[in-house]
Chains A and B, each alone.
Chain A
Amino acid sequence: MLLPATLAAEAGGRKRFELEAGTVGDALRQLPVAGLLFDEAGELRRLINVYVNGVDARGGRLLDEPLTGDSEVRIVGAVAGGEGNTLADASLWL
């Protein structure tokens, strides 16, 4: 599991985690920064993308995407802010 810089800073400076997990969701929930990945309803935050071995898991089963022992999982923030994101929209006015 590879984290981007902001999450790594929240994880005590650690960017790489070796985890045992059957699915993407299992892996994400083991991270010390899981609270920053899932909202209060337990849903993966909309602008977080997860890549498994270089493939976007949102195009597959996302949290249910199965993992194997040598899977590489990378967390990446979406490049585009998208519509309806409060912070991105607010930045137009602030």
Chain B
Amino acid sequence: MGVLLPVGTRKGLFLLRSDGGSSEWEVEGPLLPGWAVYHATVDPRDSVLYAATNNPFYGATVHKSRDLGQSWERAEEIGLPEESGLKLAAIWHVEPGLAAEPDTLWAGGDPGVLFSSKDAGVTWEVNRGLLEHPTRERWQPGAGGMCCHSIQLLDGTMYVGISAAGSFRSEDRGESWTPINKDVAAEFLPEKYPEVGQCVHKLLVHPKRPERLWQQNHCGVYRSDDRGDNWERLDGNGLPSGFGFALALDPDDSDVAYVIPEESQEYHYTSEGRLGVYRTGNAGASWELTANGLPDRAWAAILREGLAYDDGGIYFGTQSGSVWRAPRGGGQWTEAARDLPPILSVEAASV
């Protein structure tokens, strides 16, 4: 069994492949030239490859490939209802549905919208619960737009993260949404701890401990142990900065998380002039630099979709076009590819 990394870039999609040893990588691409691939992922249910594709001239859509990139099908037009007064600006993330719901997928977009597909990505319907959320007038765009980006699916519960609206939880398959932003700061707003308006950059639920959530936020790193009802801020425990975008977990150890701190909201490059990945093994009580093999002079940027993990390792891609990989648990980082276009997303799949 090998590893496939779909790497979304500003200039199309690249596929990195490696056999089990993960030291030699084949690079294929650019696929979907002309499209900025904000996110690409392999559906674990049927190995279909999906890409959230955006073009400044032709708009936002989803492409799918049943043959790992050799041929592509584009979704039928995705858009927002006229009565909303909104227009779709970008598709940011595609999330395959639960194993029990074949042909169902979800997609997050700008402006803070969520879509679902029941026909394997051919047609997409906007989620009214978020589109018409009673707090929407208090949402605002983040620096990259108002994006719904983190879609976490559990049996009976869903979560989304929206910049800058906050995190939301649904317990009725998306019909209604509860803001879950208590104790999460929004230091750029007059009210520092509002109900909504936070700029969550990445939200993840641990796959084996569903009550534990993590988020990398504009204003810090947080962990919740009660499904998002309460959050504990974790930066300042060894992290050089609470600002960043990327977040990854360990699929078997819910106390482990990885972040890649950036200098500040104004500068958007890695902290301390180095490419530094930080790891916690104690649920955020302390963080340690895990950067063996990474350059100690670098001013890189890793976007919210740019850090991934699987059973074998962790992977990230930079806006400078490099993909890095380390074995699970840390250790030596190796550069899997370089000189790609600016990287927008990295995922990992077993093929």
Please report the C-alpha to C-alpha distance between residue A27 and residue B313 in the assembled complex, in whole angstroms. Answer: 51
Enumerate B49-81 residues with CB–CB distance to A below 8 Å: 54-59, 61, 74, 76-77, 79-81
User: Is the CB of A1 closer than 8 A to any CB of chain B?
Assistant: no
CB of A6 within 8 A of CB of B34, answer yes
CB of A78 within 8 A of CB of B57, answer yes
Enumerate A62-94 residues with CB–CB distance to B below 8 Å: 77-78, 81, 85-91, 93-94
Residues of A within 8 A of B153 (CB): none
Please report the C-alpha to C-alpha distance between residue A81 and residue B319 in the assembled complex, in whole angstroms. Answer: 21
Please report the C-alpha to C-alpha distance between residue A70 and residue B143 in the assembled complex, in whole angstroms. Answer: 47
Please report the C-alpha to C-alpha distance between residue A90 and residue B303 in the assembled complex, in whole angstroms. Answer: 12
Known: A40-B82, A86-B89. A9 touches B34 (CB 8 A): yes
The size of the chain A interface, using a CB distance under 8 A, is 27
Residues of A within 8 A of B89 (CB): 86-87
User: Is the CB of A20 closer than 8 A to any CB of chain B?
Assistant: no
CB of B110 within 8 A of CB of A86, answer yes
Q: Chain B nearest CB: distance from A37 CB in Å?
A: 7
Please report the C-alpha to C-alpha distance between residue A40 and residue B268 in the assembled complex, in whole angstroms. Answer: 34
The size of the chain B interface, using a CB distance under 8 A, is 33
Residues of B within 8 A of A33 (CB): 58
Please report the C-alpha to C-alpha distance between residue A88 and residue B155 in the assembled complex, in whole angstroms. Answer: 38
Residues of A within 8 A of B54 (CB): 87
User: Is the CB of B88 closer than 8 A to any CB of chain A?
Assistant: yes
Residues of A within 8 A of B35 (CB): 6
Known: A39-B79, A94-B303. A6 touches B145 (CB 8 A): no
Residues of B within 8 A of A81 (CB): 56
Residues of B within 8 A of A78 (CB): 57
CB of B56 within 8 A of CB of A85, answer yes
Please report the C-alpha to C-alpha distance between residue A94 and residue B268 in the assembled complex, in whole angstroms. Answer: 8
Residues of A within 8 A of B87 (CB): 39-41
User: Is the CB of A45 closer than 8 A to any CB of chain B?
Assistant: yes
Residues 51-68 of chain A: 1 if any B CB is under 8 Å from the residue's CB, otherwise 0? 000000000000000000
CB of B33 within 8 A of CB of A88, answer no
CB of B90 within 8 A of CB of A94, answer no
Residues of A within 8 A of B74 (CB): 10
Q: Chain B nearest CB: distance from A58 CB in Å?
A: 14
User: Is the CB of A7 closer than 8 A to any CB of chain B?
Assistant: yes
Known: A41-B82, A47-B57. A87 touches B90 (CB 8 A): yes
User: Is the CB of A19 closer than 8 A to any CB of chain B?
Assistant: no
Residues of A within 8 A of B33 (CB): 5-6, 9
20 pairs of residues in contact across A and B, judged by CB atoms under 8 Å: A5-B34, A9-B33, A35-B77, A36-B61, A37-B58, A39-B79, A39-B87, A40-B87, A40-B88, A81-B56, A86-B90, A86-B110, A87-B56, A87-B89, A87-B90, A91-B10, A93-B268, A94-B143, A94-B144, A94-B301
Interface residues of A (CB under 8 A from B): 5-7, 9-10, 33, 35-37, 39-41, 45, 47-48, 77-78, 81, 85-91, 93-94
The 6 A-B residue pairs whose C-beta atoms are closest, nearest first, are A40-B79, A6-B34, A36-B58, A77-B57, A93-B143, A35-B77
Knowing that A6-B33, A85-B56 are A-B contacts, what are 20 other residue pairs whose CB atoms are under 8 Å apart, sorted by A's residue number? A9-B33, A9-B34, A35-B76, A36-B55, A36-B59, A40-B80, A40-B81, A40-B87, A45-B57, A47-B57, A77-B56, A81-B56, A86-B110, A86-B145, A89-B145, A90-B90, A91-B10, A94-B144, A94-B342, A94-B344
